Structure 1
């Protein structure tokens, strides 16, 4: 069931007039929750301003069992609003694996097995730490071209008004224009513990939290959908913020 929470906290950040943005946390193969959230957003569109946009913050695959379904929906643009789909570290790893089978040694330990299985790849040997090249070839053969293109074309960031959107976070002390891909996709503690400010409010996912983490300089909307069955979206409009949740009431 979808639900929502209204909030007003943090920096006095604003979006351009007549724009609403939904920033969606890590989906991780939970197509069921994505569908619920899509219907929740669709229900709100009659009262929306002239432009509504969804920004997905990355990690569409791994851990959950419906990774291929999630990528299929997004790669075909099957969502009630126009959207930007940013790259997450899990998409980055899959793209690397398509070129290098040794990537599977680590990937299989943090969600890759579920993604391979969702694409019909036999993972029985991989579970024993073998057959990495065979699994790579099988995924290359089974991964639809439009899925690969979708993931390869995902940008790392988006900016609207006083907000900066990325997957993992940003490196303190580095201007937003100069952030490196590795930090945007993977950073954790150095970013999460930083109490200073950036040019914009950072909206991110990547690090699961039990409920949205709203800090004066950042907002984390990754509520661990694959494990908690709660997928979160941050709704932004003007200077207002509120949270929508797809999952248990």
Structure 2
């Protein structure tokens, strides 16, 4: 079996629909890396706004999980939803500053008051999405592959990781003390999202392969900058075989499927 890992979607339901219809991924098991909501409609170099449809994204992901036994992981933006629904004020404030106000309107919530938002997230029609997000795992793994939203704190084994690091970590996962790629201290190929690759490279490939040297087990960052405002922002999909070898790499940008590898 091949596994296709799908990076941050951020409300790009139109691009996700194109990807899910692609012959290259149809027979694979899909692993979604989180961040299904909260996107920007503006794109550098374009005067036409991109569509934002967070509930349509969640509907597509939920259908894949329920009907095809695919896997959806929790992202930090999805956690904003969960923690705000639970009444956590810090999460509400952070969400508000990171796309929340825009997303609430798309969810049909026309208020910025935390109690009103929490109530709406816990009542129909949104309650079923809250319930879905609440049962999402933080990690997925096989004997050869590990997937999670953001990364790991290398000081601790997987079973001792702090939840916030799995959802939020960046530089301490990517780099060592010399600002070179950190060596992969697990024995597994690791696939993450969370950080748009455009903030780290201008290759336009939609993913980054990280290796300390030729003998280091690779790590892949596949947040393709979907609805991030990047000119070439889109959804990235990396397909690996059961041994963790790269089979294919695809991107969907403005509803156009692009084969990268």
Matched, 1:60 2:74: no
Q: Relative to 1, partners in 2 of residues 1:193 and 1:153: Cα closer, same or farther, differing over 3 Å?
A: same
Q: State how far apart, in whole Å, the 2-side matches of 1:163 and 1:101 are.
A: 33
Among candidates 214, 222, 227, match of residue 209 of structure 2:
214
Alpha-carbon distance, 1:180 to partner: 2.0
Among candidates 235, 239, 249, match of residue 243 of structure 1:
249
Unaligned regions of 5+ residues in structure 1, if any? 1-18
Q: Relative to 1, partners in 2 of residues 1:192 and 1:55: Cα closer, same or farther, differing over 3 Å?
A: same
Q: How many matched pairs?
A: 219
Q: State how far apart, in whole Å, the 1-side matches of 2:88 and 2:141 are.
A: 35
| 1:168 counterpart residue number | 150
Matched, 1:230 2:231: no
Native 8 Å contact 2:15 2:252 kept in 1: yes
| 2:167 counterpart residue number | 185
Q: Relative to 1, partners in 2 of residues 1:241 and 1:179: Cα closer, same or farther, differing over 3 Å?
A: farther
Give the number of the structure with larger relative contact order, counting CA–CA contacts within 8 Å between residues 6 or more apart. Answer: 1
TM-score (normalizing by structure 1)? 0.80
Unaligned regions of 5+ residues in structure 2, if any? 41-51, 177-181, 199-205, 212-217
Alpha-carbon distance, 1:81 to partner: 4.8
TM-score (normalizing by structure 2)? 0.76
Native 8 Å contact 1:68 1:115 kept in 2: no
Q: Relative to 1, partners in 2 of residues 1:135 and 1:45: Cα closer, same or farther, differing over 3 Å?
A: closer
Pairing 1:27-66 to 2, within 5 Å after superposition: 27-40=9-22, 43-44=23-24, 52-64=28-40, 65-66=52-53
Q: Relative to 1, partners in 2 of residues 1:20 and 1:81: Cα closer, same or farther, differing over 3 Å?
A: farther
Native 8 Å contact 1:59 1:89 kept in 2: yes
Is the partner of 1:110 in helix, strand or coil?
Answer: helix
| 1:114 counterpart residue number | 102
Cα deviation per residue 1:16-56 (whole Å; 9 max; x = unaligned)? xxx1000000011110111011011xx1368x5xxx31000
Is the partner of 2:24 in helix, strand or coil?
Answer: helix
Native 8 Å contact 2:12 2:226 kept in 1: yes
